[in-house]
Amino acid sequence: MTRSLDERSQKQRMLAGELYIADDPELAADNRRISAWMDRYNATQTLSQPERQALLEAMFARVGAGCNIRPPFHCDYGYNISLGRGVFMNHNCCILDVVQVSIGDLTQIGPGVQILTADHPRNPAQRRQMLEFGRPVTIGANVWIGGGAILLPGVTVGDDAIIGAGSVVTRDVPAGGVAVGNPARLRDAPGERSP
């Protein structure tokens, strides 16, 4: 027998990307659990990458080999984050993972990057009810995201793309695209400034 929509938990609604109440007791317990984990993880400056990898594997949905997230790091739940092989995130990144965040192999993310899936209704009456919803963020393989960039809910970034430092990504970026600015806009072609 299937449950009616009204019988689903707030967590089930959240994971489905539907309107939910964030301060629901089950979600609050999940948030306390990840907060305790962040306290431990963010005190790991002297641990080796394999030791930090084990901590990531204990909390995230999937963690490929050789991932390195430099503390401090912040997230909402952890269980909606999937990392491919060799993902690197520099200091002070934040992922609001109320729904799935997927980051592909060998993607490099600069310091202070925010990846946001949490969104709020445009209808003021719904906001007064403290309702939220989420839209997944997907980042392909071999992407480079410059420091301080912000990726908004529902964005997909294709393989081999570049997001300029400080950019605010409000819409999808195609594979191989270079997006810069606020709001981020596509440039014609990447400029080679490497040695």
DSSP annotation of 153 reads T
182 assigned to some structural domain:
no
187 assigned to some structural domain:
no
Catalytic residue list contains 91:
no
Alpha-carbon gap, residue 190 to 10, rounded angstroms: 43
Which entry of 120, 135, 185, 187 is annotated as an active-site residue?
120
38 assigned to some structural domain:
yes
193 assigned to some structural domain:
no
Alpha-carbon gap, residue 94 to 114, rounded angstroms: 5
pLDDT digits (tens, 9 = 90+) for 137-160: 999 999 999 999 999 999 999 999
Q: Residue 99, class by beta-carbon neighbours within 10 Å (0-12 exposed, 13-18 middle, 19+ buried)?
A: buried
C-alpha Rg value of the chain to the nearest Å: 17
145 assigned to some structural domain:
yes
Per-residue model confidence (pLDDT) at position 192: 53
184 assigned to some structural domain:
no
- pLDDT for residue 89 is more than 90: yes
Per-residue model confidence (pLDDT) at position 45: 85
Per-residue model confidence (pLDDT) at position 47: 87
Dihedral of the CA atoms 38, 40, 43, 47 (nearest 10)?
-120
Question: What is the pTM assigned to this prediction?
Answer: 0.91
185 assigned to some structural domain:
no
- pLDDT for residue 189 is more than 60: no
Q: Region 158-178: what's the mean pLDDT?
A: 98
Share the mean pLDDT of the chain: 93
Q: Region 50-76: what's the mean pLDDT?
A: 95
Q: Region 33-49: what's the mean pLDDT?
A: 92
Domain that holds residue 130: 9-177
Structure tokens at 65: 């080999």
- CATH code assigned at 86: 2.160.10.10
Q: Region 172-194: what's the mean pLDDT?
A: 84
- pLDDT for residue 56 is more than 80: yes
4 assigned to some structural domain:
no
Dihedral of the CA atoms 166, 170, 151, 189 (nearest 10)?
-60
Number of domains in the chain: 1
